[in-house]
Amino acid sequence: MTTEIEEPPIVAYLAVEEKSIIERFNADFADTVLMVTRNLGGFPEATDCELVGIDPEGLDSKVTDPAGVHDLRLDFNIPVEVPDHLTSALFDLIERARDASGDTGQTSAEREAAALAAIGTHLTEVVAVSDVHPHLRQITFGGGDLATTFDPVGPDCFFYVLLPPPGRTELGIDQTFTWEAHARMPVEDQPVGAYYTLRAWRPEKAELDIWMVLHGEGDHAGPASSWAARAQVGDKVALWGPRTAFHPPDGTDHLVLVGDETGLPAIAGIIDWMPDGMTATVLAEVAEESERQELPSRAGVDVIWLHREGAEAGTTSLLADAARALPPLPESTYVWGGGESKAMTAVRRHVRNDRGLDRESVALVAYWRHKATTDADVDSE
Ligand SMILES: Cc1cc2nc3c(=O)[nH]c(=O)nc-3n(C[C@H](O)[C@H](O)[C@H](O)COP(=O)(O)OP(=O)(O)OC[C@H]3O[C@@H](n4cnc5c(N)ncnc54)[C@H](O)[C@@H]3O)c2cc1C
């Protein structure tokens, strides 16, 4: 029997993601890591710095300078309790290093930070609630800032739905919301929420739909799913976004789209977006046949439905098995997916390692993390 220990969500998150965050920083943001090391780490002559550890309090790295190799510890100034706070704490560190440097240059992560800082917060409210099926709820938001500032981006357009703190009806934030400010709010005042995908947009009515999976019950349902289960017309929300993670390289003529219930709204948007002549294979995992989500019907789109038939979401290898069973892929294929983290990792490993697709041709996004697979991941590493 296992004992459940209450730990901040960031601990479970880092147990799974630390390695890939470190890899991403060392590979994509090496110039930023070096800038921080030189200006904040006390190694102005550093020629190289490799990030080796991230925990909720700070970063560990190995620094090389003319005197040799040194250990460096940098502490965060922002409390990190949930994954989104980590981004704020890292950006805060970079900002402090930039201030200390006295120059106004921009490294790769600073360019990314500038793009994130430009993301807006749009206040709106629930105008309709209906069930697509017993475990999938369509929530329609309408009015407020949707009439003025909201403008969708990308066929997988998503945003963070900010909801009132548990037990409250007021959001307690406005359009000036930032994740830095969120991290500094008392925990009981912090809005909760999760990322969701635009399923339909009716600009003439300033209305949009999202499809929210209703998962778990009682203590096992997350704040967003619990909110969806009791959402009512008039409930206030804010949308932080919009954003896209769908970037097919020029010349892409075939898509492999992989998703469970959470990724299917984006897959519907991508099928709608597909230029004439582009083809797609969709691997779509749902609980059972009655829970298939309606997808746009287009010539050249082949949908393979995979049913869990009683198995819990996030515990099967259906998507990776189906990816392995696909015939050889056309040369200009882009693989996009949204679903449970471990399932996305398994598909990514297959298409990158076995099929040799390059990094730019693959975007498999962890839309959610199954608790049990999180533990299994940790055990196997
Ligand atoms: C870019 C992006 C777009 C997304 N779009 C959608 C969308 O359109 N529709 C949608 O429903 N979801 C979507 N998601 C996924 C959604 O954000 C997650 O499912 C999120 O975890 C839900 O938050 P929560 O507060 O309900 O649960 P959390 O507090 O995050 O988790 C609580 C518990 O529920 C489990 N859990 C979380 N999600 C699921 C699930 N789907 N099935 C079973 N168990 C789950 C977790 O493992 C955990 O044990 C998207 C995610 C991303 C990153």
Q: What is the DSSP string of 286-304?
A: ESSGGGPPP----TTEEEE
Q: Is the CB of 370 under 6 A from ligand 1?
A: yes
Q: Is the CB of 374 under 6 A from ligand 1?
A: no
Residue 1 falls within a domain, yes or no?
no
Distance 196 CA to ligand 1 centre (A): 8
On whether both 258 and 365 belong to a single domain, the answer is yes
**Distance (Å, whole) CA 283 – CA 256:** 8
pLDDT at 13: 86
Q: How many domains does the chain have?
A: 3
On whether both 126 and 141 belong to a single domain, the answer is yes
Q: Is the CB of 342 under 6 A from ligand 1?
A: no
Find out whether 81 and 72 touch, Cβ atoms under 8 Å: no
Residue 179 falls within a domain, yes or no?
yes
Atom of ligand 1 lying closest to residue 225 CA: 26
On whether both 289 and 376 belong to a single domain, the answer is yes
The token pair at 3 is 């004992």
Residues in the chain predicted with pLDDT less than 70, given as ranges, are 1-8, 219, 372-381
On whether both 164 and 202 belong to a single domain, the answer is yes
pLDDT at 12: 84
Half-sphere exposure of 315 (CA within 13 A, CB side): 10
Q: Is the CB of 367 under 6 A from ligand 1?
A: yes
Domain that holds residue 179: 120-243
Residue 248 falls within a domain, yes or no?
no
pLDDT at 274: 98
**Distance (Å, whole) CA 41 – CA 72:** 7
On whether both 43 and 129 belong to a single domain, the answer is no
CATH of the domain at 209: 2.40.30.10
pLDDT at 1: 34
pLDDT at 359: 86
Q: Is the CB of 217 under 6 A from ligand 1?
A: no
**Distance (Å, whole) CA 154 – CA 159:** 12
Distance 184 CA to ligand 1 centre (A): 24
- List, for residues 200-211, the tens digit of each pLDDT value: 999 999 999 999
Average pLDDT, whole number, for the chain?
A: 92
CATH of the domain at 363: 3.40.50.80
Q: Which residues of 307-318 are buried (b: 16+ CB within 10 A; e: fewer)?
A: bbeeeebbebeb
On whether both 144 and 108 belong to a single domain, the answer is no
On whether both 282 and 238 belong to a single domain, the answer is no
Q: Is the CB of 224 under 6 A from ligand 1?
A: yes
Q: Which residue among 197, 222, 243 closes a domain?
A: 243
Atom of ligand 1 lying closest to residue 243 CA: 1
Q: Which residue among 81, 116, 151 closes a domain?
A: 116
pLDDT at 20: 84
pLDDT at 8: 67
On whether both 258 and 374 belong to a single domain, the answer is yes
ipTM: 0.99
| Tally of residues, the chain | 381
